[in-house]
């Protein structure tokens, strides 16, 4: 039974809409303000109105019926008609709903109108009423001789009616024309001049403003990228299956088997279709008797409107049929989101176990999981589940592009022979599909077609020139019929069972269930091309204090402390004394403990808890007991928390220790001297930096998270390397991620060590944000990480998400992310104390044991847990907190960490 809930008003990409004041006008939403990936070009083409920047509440719509052109409109000017979701898509009821679902099945019906005359047909039409298009389209899979391939380009021949009812054939690379398209520019002027050599009929020299009309179109040549071979073949048989030819045309097209899944055959607004029973339905006639192909009748219909029902599996295990307009697409899933049937890894600090999700309570962030090796089920925190196969293991991270955990609904998979496996330990599943190098070659140089695309264009043009009539063109590929088991070696994942097995629908629509270990995922060619794209991808001057020690290199190459009493010398001609400036935003953003304020541990708590003040000295808190003279205590504390120091040797656990040492130039050493002077005097109290006499190209920084951020009191260690081109190139950073493979602690801090920041050249930024030898400094890089990365609301560190600040979606996602960041960063404290870094061990022990920061971490976390167990409405004060409360799942994970931290504290007190 369909749900009768009111429809949401927010619009999303691919939504079908009507214009309120022109209800006959139907369109498709192409752009939305809130889409994370909606980044229009800086200088959009003047003629394309959809490419200007969007304002809040605006969408870009491509109209497919009536007379309207593409246009950017307000959401309130549009009425939602349908939503174009497909199997495997994720959805929610509302933006702020924490529960999500996965689409299992789609059932659409459509209203049609004649594609040229616009005459509507009465009633609704179902998928069974429509003839399936047997022409392979761009992106379709095809099979031949035990190979699976993908159409990466097509060459078309379109029959176009021009003024005077003349018909001409238009050969063209690409598939942008469709039956029913009209326009005065269908036949471009450059082609018109060569018509006598190409077309069967001449247009003459006169063209009117009467639009041309496309009345038929056929793909006459294909470029196919062959991705992988049948995995049931023996090694010897597979070797004999040579990769098929690149270009296909003529009768060879009929040798191809067209492989389509459920999403490929659904009715969508804008589709051109033919009906199985078209008797008595409208048609139009084109051409003239006795000329060319004579009269051609067109009986194609445009899908004007759809109404879609979806079968949805919700996270809690409930299944429901809903109207597509009653839900919204879930476009920014949380990294811990999982659904029934998903294969995951349950991970603690000490072990990893494969599990299968039975149900999820998204509000509590808990999941009921099945351990297949024992057959037992347990309740787990989702923060301890890895649904994607990421890990803290560098080896697994390196393999993440070719394998993952389990499979997803909608994946295409290969089936291995019974009794064999995919070669990986369950639940890991490999992904295969080799996109040949020629596909990645540049196909255009300016307006000229080059390379393999030129080969395809020349082939298609030759076919058109040699055609003597406008009659029947090439044949079409064939769809496997039911019972055709030639293609039982591949299929589409259509469901995931709770016992871990997988339902697969084969190309002949037969359905079978397989164990996970017999499956290998197909790496889609278009996805590979997209992955290629992603893979390429005001200040205050620092005051120098004369009585502070700084470091400089003497004539023998030894670093020595000295007193700053002289002006900086210009080392490079283009570097002036402003080169050490630090961005105000980096110093102030989300920094309650910036350099101009003291970092106070807890002034109201009794006990020896000194606070670190900005000048680097320490003062005892109220109630601290002296040990020895005050001068002795102060001297010891200063030594324990020296913000900048140059040590004799770099530690072997430094991320870049094994890298070849840079050969420092005079310019390099001169600039480094200046950098050391700044670091000696200007580091905030919560940042430590260590340099090394034997490796001038290496540094290590420790940043302590600021109060009222999810990172408060946690240690963040980043290793740095300066290449020989420094300072003309930015420092290279490696973040020591101690998340135990449970996800990123921050969007800008990757588990494999990448630090994503404009000043480091690892993220695109404007001219004032990127590294500059004249304007940037190491201090600026360190402070930027503390002030712009380790912030109160880290979810918004993703540039695409910052515009969602204050929206329902942003508030929900930010809250969940901050909880994760808080819990994971408590684990950083444990890691720093349990496996201390060689050159920071004393500082860590002083900070967490002697200075009492571990007590604070434990007490704050326990208070937060107790507060979270009380079911009460958050107060205004709570809403100002970075982490006002925890979910049940967050509590489960945090309590495990606190147990370990308490044990470390007790051990330290005994020692």
Residue among 619, 868, 834, 620 at smallest CA distance from 715: 834
Residue among 354, 391, 389, 349 at smallest CA distance from 369: 354
Q: Which residue's entry shows tokens 């951020």?
A: 709
Consecutive H or E run containing 612: strand 611-612
756 is catalytic: yes
Residue 183 Rama label (left phi>0; alpha psi -120 to 50; beta): left
The sheet with strand 490-496 has its strands ordered as 403-405, 428-432, 519-522, 412-415, 490-496, 502-505, 511-514
Query: Which token pair is 391?
Result: 């890990």
Task: Report how far residue 357's alpha carbon sits from residue 497's, in angstroms, rounded to the nearest whole number.
Answer: 10
| CB-count exposure of residue 302 (10 Å: 0-12, 13-18, 19+) | buried
Cis peptide before 737 (omega within 30 of 0): no
Q: Which residue's entry shows tokens 């048989």?
A: 237
Task: Report how far residue 176's alpha carbon sits from residue 521's, in angstroms, rounded to the nearest whole number.
Answer: 30
3-state SS record for 236-250: HHHHHCCCCCCEEEH
Consecutive H or E run containing 213: strand 212-229
Task: Report how far residue 471's alpha carbon sits from residue 171's, in angstroms, rounded to the nearest whole number.
Answer: 15
Residue among 611, 538, 589 at smallest CA distance from 783: 589
Tell me phi and psi for residue 339, to 5 degrees: -135, 160
- Per-residue CA distances from 833 to 45, 437, 675, 738, 903 (Å): 57, 49, 30, 12, 11
Q: Name the active-site residue from 32, 91, 338, 756.
A: 756
> DSSP 3-state assignment of 178?
coil
> DSSP 3-state assignment of 539?
strand
Query: Which token pair is 121?
Result: 């047909």
In sequence order, the 6+-apart residues with CB closer than 8 A to the CB of 32 are 11, 12, 13, 38, 54, 59, 60
- Per-residue CA distances from 55 to 12, 31, 49, 73, 565 (Å): 15, 11, 14, 10, 54
Query: Which token pair is 476?
Result: 């079409």
The bridge status of strand 403-405 relative to strand 448-449 is: unpaired
Query: Which token pair is 522?
Result: 């197909």
Task: Report how far residue 770's alpha carbon sits from residue 761's, in angstroms, rounded to the nearest whole number.
Answer: 6
Active-site positions? 756
């Amino acid at each position: 039974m369909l749900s009768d809930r009111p429809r949401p008003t927010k619009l999303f990409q691919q939504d079908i809409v009507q214009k309120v004041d022109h209800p006959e006008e139907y369109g498709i939403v192409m752009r939305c303000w809130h889409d994370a990936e909606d980044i229009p070009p800086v200088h959009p083409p003047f003629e394309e109105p959809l490419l200007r920047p969007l304002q809040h509440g605006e969408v870009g719509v491509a109209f497919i019926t009536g007379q309207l052109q593409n246009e950017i409109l307000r959401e309130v000017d549009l009425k939602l008609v349908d939503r174009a979701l497909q199997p495997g898509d994720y959805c929610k009821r509302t933006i702020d709903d924490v529960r999500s679902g996965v689409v299992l099945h789609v059932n659409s019906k459509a209203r049609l109108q004649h594609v040229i005359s616009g005459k509507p047909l009465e009633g609704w039409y179902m998928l069974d009423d429509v003839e399936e298009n047997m022409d392979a389209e761009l992106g379709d899979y095809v099979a031949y001789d035990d190979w699976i391939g993908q159409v990466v380009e097509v060459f078309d021949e379109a029959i176009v009616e021009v003024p005077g009812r003349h018909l001409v054939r238009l050969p063209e690379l690409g598939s942008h024309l469709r039956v029913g398209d009209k326009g005065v520019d269908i036949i471009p002027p450059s082609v018109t001049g060569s018509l006598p050599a190409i077309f069967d009929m001449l247009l003459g020299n006169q063209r009117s403003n009467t639009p041309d009309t496309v009345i038929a179109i056929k793909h006459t040549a294909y470029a196919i990228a062959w991705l992988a071979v049948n995995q049931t073949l023996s090694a010897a048989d597979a070797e004999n299956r040579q990769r098929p030819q690149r270009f296909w045309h003529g009768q060879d097209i009929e040798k191809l088997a067209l492989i389509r899944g459920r999403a490929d055959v659904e009715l969508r607004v804008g589709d051109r279709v033919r009906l199985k029973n078209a008797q008595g339905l409208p048609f139009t006639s084109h051409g003239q008797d006795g000329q060319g192909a004579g009269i051609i009748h067109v009986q194609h219909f445009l899908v004007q409107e759809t109404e879609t029902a979806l079968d949805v599996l919700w996270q809690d295990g409930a299944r429901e049929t809903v109207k597509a307009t009653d839900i919204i697409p879930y476009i920014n899933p949380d990294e811990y989101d999982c659904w029934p049937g998903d294969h995951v890894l349950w991970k603690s600090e000490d072990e990893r176990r494969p599990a299968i999700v039975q149900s999820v309570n998204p509000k509590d962030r808990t999941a009921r999981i099945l351990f297949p090796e024992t057959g037992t089920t347990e309740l787990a925190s989702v923060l301890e589940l890895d649904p994607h196969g990421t890990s803290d293991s560098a080896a697994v991270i390196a393999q993440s592009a070719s394998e993952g955990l389990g499979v997803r609904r909608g994946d295409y998979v290969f089936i291995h022979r019974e009794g064999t496996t995919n070669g990986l330990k369950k639940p890991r599943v490999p992904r295969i599909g080799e996109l040949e190098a020629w596909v990645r070659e540049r196909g255009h140089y300016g307006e000229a077609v080059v390379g393999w695309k030129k080969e395809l264009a020349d082939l298609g043009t030759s076919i058109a020139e040699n055609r003597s009539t406008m009659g029947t063109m090439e044949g079409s590929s064939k769809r496997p019929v039911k019972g055709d088991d030639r293609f039982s070696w591949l299929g589409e994942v259509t469901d995931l069972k709770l016992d871990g097995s997988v339902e697969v629908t084969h190309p002949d629509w037969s359905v079978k269930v397989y164990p996970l270990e017999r499956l290998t995922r197909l790496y889609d060619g278009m996805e590979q091309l997209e992955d290629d794209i992603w893979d390429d991808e005001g200040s205050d001057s620092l005051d120098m204090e004369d009585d502070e020690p700084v470091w400089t290199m003497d004539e023998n190459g030894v670093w020595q402390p000295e007193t700053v009493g002289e002006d900086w010398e210009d080392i490079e001609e283009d570097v002036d004394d402003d080169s050490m400036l630090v961005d105000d935003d980096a110093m102030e953003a989300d920094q309650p403990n910036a350099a101009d304020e003291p970092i106070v541990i807890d002034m109201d708590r009794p006990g020896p808890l000194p606070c670190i003040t900005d000048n680097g000295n320490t003062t005892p808190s109220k109630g601290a007991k002296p040990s020895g003279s005050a001068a002795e205590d102060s001297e010891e504390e200063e030594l324990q928390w020296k913000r900048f120091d140059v040590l004799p040797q770099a530690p072997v656990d430094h991320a870049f220790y094994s890298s070849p040492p840079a050969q420092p130039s005079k310019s390099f050493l001169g600039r480094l001297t200046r950098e050391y002077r700044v670091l000696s005097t200007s580091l905030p109290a919560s940042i430590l930096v260590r340099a090394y006499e034997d490796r001038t190209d290496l540094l290590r920084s420790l940043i302590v998270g600021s109060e009222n951020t999810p990172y408060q009191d946690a240690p963040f260690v980043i290793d740095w390397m300066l290449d020989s081109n420094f300072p003309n190139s930015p420092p290279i950073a490696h973040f020591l991620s101690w998340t135990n493979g449970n996800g990123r602690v921050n969007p800008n801090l990757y588990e494999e060590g990448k630090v994503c920041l404009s000043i480091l050249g690892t993220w695109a930024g404007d001219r004032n944000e990127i590294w500059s030898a004249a304007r940037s400094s190491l201090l600026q890089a360190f402070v930027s990480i503390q002030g712009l990365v380790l912030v109160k609301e880290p979810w918004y560190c993703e540039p695409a998400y910052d515009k969602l600040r204050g929206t329902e979606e942003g508030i929900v996602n930010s809250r969940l992310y901050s909880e994760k960041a808080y819990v994971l960063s408590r684990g950083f404290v444990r890691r720093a104390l349990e496996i201390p870094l060689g050159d920071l061990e004393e500082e860590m022990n002083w900070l967490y044991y002697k200075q009492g920061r571990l007590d604070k971490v434990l007490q704050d976390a326990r208070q937060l847990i107790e507060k979270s167990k009380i079911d009460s409405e958050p107060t205004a004060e709570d809403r100002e907190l970075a982490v006002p409360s925890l979910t049940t799942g967050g509590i489960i994970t945090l309590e495990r960490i606190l147990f370990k931290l308490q044990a470390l504290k007790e051990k330290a007190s005994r020692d």
